[in-house]
Structures are given as C-alpha cells and as structure tokens.
Structure 1
Amino acid sequence: MMKKLFSLSCLPLVLVLLSGFMGLQLAEARLHYNYHPKMLFVFGDSYVDTGNTRIDQPGSWKQPYGITFPGKPAGRFSNGRVLTDYIAKYLGLKSPLPYKFRKLIPQQLKYGMNFAYGGTGVFDTSSKNPNMTIQIDFLNQLIKENVYTTSDLYNSVAHVSVAGNDYNFYLSRNGSIEGFPSFIGSVVNQTAINLVRIQKLGVRKIVVGGLQPLGCLPGNTASSSFQKCNSTFNDLVLLHNNLLNQAVTKLNRQSKDNSTFVVVDLYDSFMSVLNHPSTNNIKEPFKPCCVGVGREYNCGSVENNVNKYTVCESPTSAFFWDLLHPSQAGWHAVYNKLQTTNAFQQIRY
C-alpha cells in the first residue's frame, strides 16, 4: 500500500517533468520548422545561370530567349524562369544576383549570389567561362572582402548544378562513349570535392542536382522524330546518379550534421513529367519549342539580320525550350514534382 501511495504521489511530478520535456522538444521542433535560409548561392551551368554568360555568346542574351519572362533576353537559357528562380521561390527569397552584376546592383547582395555560367562543368569545358572550382573561388574572394560574413554563410543554402557539360565535352573530344564509366567516376569525385569545399566555407546546407535524363533531351531524341529517349545515354546517367548518391551518403556520414548534403532527383522529376505530360498541361514533351532552321543553326541564330530559327505557337505548353534546356513550363512542372520529395523539403530546414 505504501508503495502504491508513493507511486501515486510521484505521478504529478512525473507529469510535470514529462510535459516540460515535451514542451522543450516542441519548442525546438518549432524553431527547426520555422528556420528559413536567408541567402542562396548557386554554382554550375546553364540550367541555373541567370545572367553570367557573356552577351556575345550564343543564346541566353539573344532573341527569342526570355520571351515569356521577363519579356526580353535576360541571360537565362530558356524562354523564362529556370531552376534557380524556383528554388529561390521555395526558400522565400528573390533569385540571387548574377556574379557579374555584383557591383551594379549591390542592394541585392543580401539574397546571395549566382556564380553559374552556361556551358561550364566541374572540369574545363569552356574557354570563355569559369569551371566550378573557379566559381567557388569567386565566393571565397567575396568572403575575404567581407561581402559575406560567417553568419551569412551559416544561414544560407548552396545549390550545385552538374547538368552534363563535362560529358558533352568528353564526347566532342573522344567521339564515342568508350571509357565513359571511368570518366563518370572522375566527374562525381570532383563534384564531391566541390561540395566539401563549399561546406568548409561555412555554408550550412548544400544541395546538388542529380543528372537529368540526357537521353531525353531533344538533341538526343531528334533521330526518333522526338518520340523516344536514348536508353544508352540514360543508362550512363543512372550510373552517374548512383555514384553521386553514394558519394553524398558518405559525405553526410563524415559531417557533424547528417543532412548537410542533399541530392535532388532531377532524373525522376523529368521522367515523371515527360511520361505524364498532360498532367502538367504539357502538349509537347520531347519536341523543342525553338529550333534552328537547318543543321547549321540553333535557337537564336541570326544571319544578315534574318532570323534563322522558328518558335512554336505555344511555349507555355512545351517542356523543352531548345535542344538542351527546359522551357519555363518545363521547369515549373519539374519544380512541382520536386516539391513532393523528402529530399527537396530538406532544403528549407
């Protein structure tokens, strides 16, 4: 009886302690849930470039790029918004300023910065634009100049895009996919090195995009009249993504926070939209909206003041804008799919 009375007498104390503990956990959960990054730093290529590529280079700064948004060419390799814009929207931020405009619009430095250049890779793929190592150097220099503080970096997200320029460059040099698996390993290893370097600069969350289905890009589906994907290329993409996931899992194990590095699955998101286009109001899943007239011309080509390209009647219903890049409608559909994934939801918390 005494034991029962003692147990009953202790019950209020236990409940108080338990409620206090649960309250503390709830408060911490709320803090975690309400955390929103204050800046976005972007590294990579044309899938995320919002204006760094020079105006004298093909595409992005030439008509008809930008006809949907903002209504004129603005440095994006699309008719409108690209992945960077949608990630910034998800974080509740303005799309970060392109690096080359950092001195022209200093008031926008508070949203982060976009260091991505079209045509670049983790290795040298362009004689005119900096690879990812140099892009990270740019951020490091800005830190040294006190443009960004330790607090800025800690309260930020970095997005890294590796969309396949290294592989296009490899094919242009070698002419075949022989030796590709070994080269894929090199690209993933260098990507991992880049991710760690960004982390060491103080960025709290680093997001890297898995490789999209290269075999489904219009340049690779043209031979089938834009009807089906090239399975050979997609098999190599799956190898890249498998190695990337392994590398990121290893990095997270070595990190103090096991959610520092996040892979967003662009392959699955692209395929989901391409396989069910009508769900996303896409009428042309594989055919590009803007194409050059003849093999020697690309979207945006002009000769003797004559446009050497054609634009589809409805860019808002085409998934691809040109031979390589999604349209704004395509990116929006991919973004809608990404938002439902656990990996993408980790970006904000």
Structure 2
Amino acid sequence: MIQRQHVVNDFFAEAEAMRSAYDTKVKDPYRQSVSWQYFCAPQMYTYLRTVPQQVVPEALFARFMQHMKQWCVDNVGLLPMGVPNLHLMVNGCTLGLHSDFQNGTLGYVYSLTRWQQRKFAGGETLLLRDGIPSYKKHHVQGESLYELVPAQFNQLLLFDDRIVHGTQTVEGSMDPLEGRIAFVGHLRPTSPVVKGALDPAAARKTILDLQRHLAEQLKERDDCKDVQGTVTFRLDVAASGKVESVTTLIDHLVTPATGYGPSARVDDVRRIVQEGIATLRFPDGAGKSTVTAAVLVPLPDLRPIEIAVPHGGRAAVLREVLAAQLKELESQGFQIERSGEEFLMLEPLAGTIRIEPARLVATFDPPMWVPSQREHFQANLKDSLGLLARAGG
C-alpha cells in the first residue's frame, strides 16, 4: 500500500532510448528546433518546459504513456491526467515550495537525468515533513524539516499532491545536456475500471451506491469532519457478485493536525470505508472480475456531470469536427468509442457526448475529485462544446 510518497527504480525499459532522443534533439544549438517555454514566476518558479513529443519520437512516447497508465492502474488505482510536461532545469532554475492539491491526487516526477554523472548541485525534490517542528530542540534545520529525493535516472517518484514540495535550486552548467531533465505530471482517480465478466455500467452503479452510502454515514460523524484524503482499492469479484478479496492500493487519509501520524479519527473513517467496501455485492456475472475504484473523503458532489449546449449546425458536420477533436484526446491516453450519434468516453471518466437535433449533450460519472478539479473540468467541457457548436454552424 502506498501512502505519503513512493519511489520506483528502473521504471521504463526504453529509458535509454528516450534519453538518447533528447540528447540528439538538443545537442546541436544550431539545429535544435525545440520550442521551450521559459516559465518564470519571480520568487517561486524558474525553469524551461515543453511537451515530451518535442524531443521523444511519438511511438516511443506512446509506449511510455501506455506503460505509465497500466502501472498506475495496477499499483495505485489512478490515471495520469493528460500528457506530462518535460522540465529542463539548468543553473539558477528552481521550484519554490507549493502544494498541488487542485491538480491531482498524486504528483509524479519521472527522471531522465544522468544523476550519477551530474555536474550540478541541487535538483532534488523537496517534500516537507508532516507535523510541527519541535522548537524544544537546541537546533532544528535541514532534513529534520524535509526530505530530499534525488532525481535518479529512470526513476518514478510519486507523492501526495497535498504535501508542500519544491525542487532545490540547480547550481551548475547552463548546458541542456547537463541539466535536470524530467517528466512532471499528476494522477487522479478514474471511473471504476472493470476487467472480466462484470458489466462495466452495472459495476459503476454499485460503486456509486457505495459512495452515496458512505457520504450519509460520514455526514453523521461530526468528529470526523476534518479527515480528508483518497483511498483506492482493487476488488476480486466472484461470478456470484460476492467480493472475495480487497487490496488497498493507496490510503491518503489524514487530518490537518496530524498529517500521516496516528489519529483515532482517521482510524474511524478508514474502518467505515473498509467495511463498506468489503460488504459490496455486484450483479451476477459469467465469471470472475476485478474492479478498481476510489473513495474521496469528504465525499464530493455525487451528481453526474451534465452539460447541454444549443447548436444550429448539421449533425454530419458536427460529427466530423467532434471526431477530430476527440482524436487529440485519444493521443493523450483517453479511451473513446463511437456508437451512432454518441461518443462513449471510457477513461479516465466514463460518459457520453451526444449530438441531438438542436443541442450537444455531455454526461459523465461524478468524479472522485476535489470540488475545484470538477469545476475546472466542467468549465473546459462547456467551452469545448460551445466551440464545437459554433464550428458546426
């Protein structure tokens, strides 16, 4: 089970190929054609960034993302949100202390840095420790306040996105071949992932019923209102629909006062969630299944996302434009199928986008995301549907 942070060494079998592609792309300053964004927020962030496809061949990067996605579903029950940024940090670059709870459940850093041969100081990911420093000690400094995680080559670092974190200032070369090079992104819960005989829609309904039941139970516990975090779990389900075993993948339940330290309130909430999961009953199936799902505490808005935008265009034109837009999403790892006038969204959120005679309608499962994440998704979805409606006119 993964909690606060986790390191995976030797993560991707083709790491050397990706690093070689990067080196080839940037080594000749007169021929390199990478479009870097100089991202600078004074006294907070200074670094260069681009999309990985600028320096890694499309097919190779697609294999990395497929490996990343499968590893994340199997081991943490979460999915990458879109394509990561490629960060390049050379002399003077830094990431100041910040928190990313609005971006994801877990942050990740995948390093292509030749750490053992580096010619710079700094560059470690800094994770602030939980709790309040003890000022009764004679002196409190350094790693009694935080932990430093080196960016070893081909290493994947995962950490709770709520942790205050940053990157130590890089001091050394300005050469892009000698900098700190890493993919940086975020993971979030997906709609329940079903493998096996179970009908996915029926399984999702069972999980949603559980989430609603847990919301009612926890609403009655005033003493647990400050408990927050995500639990993801994988269920082995028999053909009868009975849950045979439960594996907790991540458990990020904390309180602001204790962090990951011992807490009776966290223990109570954890017990309620675990008991609810263990007593689930799915519909009968033709064989065994596995279901991977998440519970966010406090439980978020459990109403489906529903957005409708009027249009006056022709359905055939709208279908073509929408199909082209969705191909871009597919390149980022989204799973989409077409069924008549509907486009079925399978991952990361299950839902549909439907072309009706006078309107475009999008419906999605309620996500296990904090409110700001849901609001951001809804606003972007509404804007996209509005652009589509105008394009089909």
Q: TM-score with structure 1 length normalisation?
A: 0.22
Which structure's residues are more often strand, by fraction?
Answer: 2
Task: Give TM-score scaled by structure 2 length.
Answer: 0.20
Higher helix share: 1
